């Protein structure tokens, strides 16, 4: 079993839709939960991070962490064609140094 | 300021040749990571540097892979006797705090 599971998609939605991206994980020691966005032929860039459980909102993006279920989500409201990218969840334990990445979900937002 | 840079951006090599991939991290970042990204496979951790030391090399796929970092800055990933399965995008990232990594654009390696 992988430490982090993420559906690779692709996920195709119309412009303006609400997008839900999810990951599950198995290691309860993870404390930081991140979402990276990767455009084609570019390196990933950190979109949002959450420490421990709870929600965090930044503009059209909301990250949720449910540690009891070992489940994290990223919601994108009013999705735009410019949101078309691969979204990778990632997790980090401050007791270590290694960030574990999900496989990434490819998102296409159609105009 | 300048981000993480990697060179070359693309490398095509023949099977059996050695290749060197370079990473210039953000100035002052003590942590440096190498990852490999194959199509649909996510990011595969290769090696981590804290300063010039590599506490964990367990992610390196075989003894054909090696990496070094000098002066707490530039890092080189070397692949000896390349094989076709080494074809992938090799990404470097640097970090000041562990969870926030800044990635370079990657080197796309093709072994023919």
pLDDT, one tens digit per residue, over B18-48 is: 999 999 999 999 999 999 998 767 889 999 9
Q: What is the pLDDT of residue A2?
A: 81
| Whole-number pLDDT of residue A12 | 97
Taking CB atoms and an 8 Å limit, are B56 and A97 in contact across chains? yes
pLDDT confidence of residue B89: 96
Select from B41, B48, B103 the Cβ nearest to the Cβ of A45. Answer: B103
Q: B42: distance to nearest CA of chain A, Å? A: 4
Sign of CA dihedral A99, A70, A4, B90: negative
Confirm or reject contact between A92 and chain B (CB < 8 A). Answer: yes
Mean pLDDT of chain A: 93
Provide, as residue numbers in chain B, all residues whose Cβ is less than 8 Å from the Cβ of A104: 42
Q: Residue A29: its pLDDT value, please?
A: 87
SS3 sequence of chain A: CCCEEECCCCEEEECCCCEEEEEEECCCCCCEEEEEEECCCCCCEEEEEEECCEEEEECCEEEEEECCCCEEEEEECCCCHHHCEEEEEEEECCCCCCEEECCCEEEEEEC
Residue B98 has what pLDDT? Answer: 67
Interface check for A61 against chain B (CB to CB < 8 A): the answer is: no
A-chain CB neighbours of B32 within 8 Å are none
- Do residue B56 and residue A98 have CB atoms under 8 angstroms apart? yes
Can you tell me the mean pLDDT for A45-62?
92
* Nearest chain A Cα distance for residue B106, angstroms: 6
Give the model's pLDDT for residue B40. Answer: 67
- Calculate what percentage of chain A has a pLDDT beyond 90: 77
Tens-digit pLDDT profile for residues B50-80: 888 888 888 999 999 999 999 889 999 999 9
CB B32 within 8 A of CB B54: no
Interface check for A43 against chain B (CB to CB < 8 A): the answer is yes
Given a cut of 90, is residue B7 above it in pLDDT? yes
Nearest Cβ partner for B43 among A88, A94, A97: A88
Asked if A12 and A110 touch (Cβ cutoff 8 Å), the reply is yes
CB contact under 8 A, B50 and A44: no
The sign of the torsion formed by the CA atoms of B68, B70, B72, B74 equals negative
CA A64 – CA A34 distance, rounded (Å): 10
Q: Answer whether residue B1 shows pLDDT above 70.
A: no
């Amino acid at each position: 079993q992988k430490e982090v599971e993420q559906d690779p998609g692709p996920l195709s939605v119309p412009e303006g839709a609400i997008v839900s991206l999810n990951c599950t994980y198995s290691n309860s020691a993870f404390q930081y939960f991140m979402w990276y966005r990767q455009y084609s032929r570019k390196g990933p860039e950190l979109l949002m991070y959450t420490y421990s459980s709870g929600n965090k909102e930044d503009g059209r993006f909301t990250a949720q962490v449910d540690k009891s279920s070992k489940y994290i989500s990223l919601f994108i409201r009013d999705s735009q064609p410019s949101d078309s990218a691969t979204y990778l969840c990632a997790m980090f334990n401050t007791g270590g140094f290694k960030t574990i990445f999900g496989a990434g979900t490819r998102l296409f937002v159609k105009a | 300021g300048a981000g993480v840079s990697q060179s070359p951006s693309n490398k095509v090599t023949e099977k059996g040749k050695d290749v060197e991939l370079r990473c210039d991290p953000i100035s002052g970042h003590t942590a440096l990571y190498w990852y490999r990204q194959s199509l649909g496979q996510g990011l595969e951790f290769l090696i981590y540097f804290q300063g010039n030391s590599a506490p964990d090399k367990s992610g390196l796929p075989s003894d054909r892979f090696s990496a070094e970092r000098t002066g707490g800055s530039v890092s080189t990933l070397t692949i000896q006797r390349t094989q076709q399965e080494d074809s992938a995008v090799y990404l470097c990232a640097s970090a000041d705090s562990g969870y926030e990594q800044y990635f370079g654009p990657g080197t796309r390696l093709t072994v023919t």
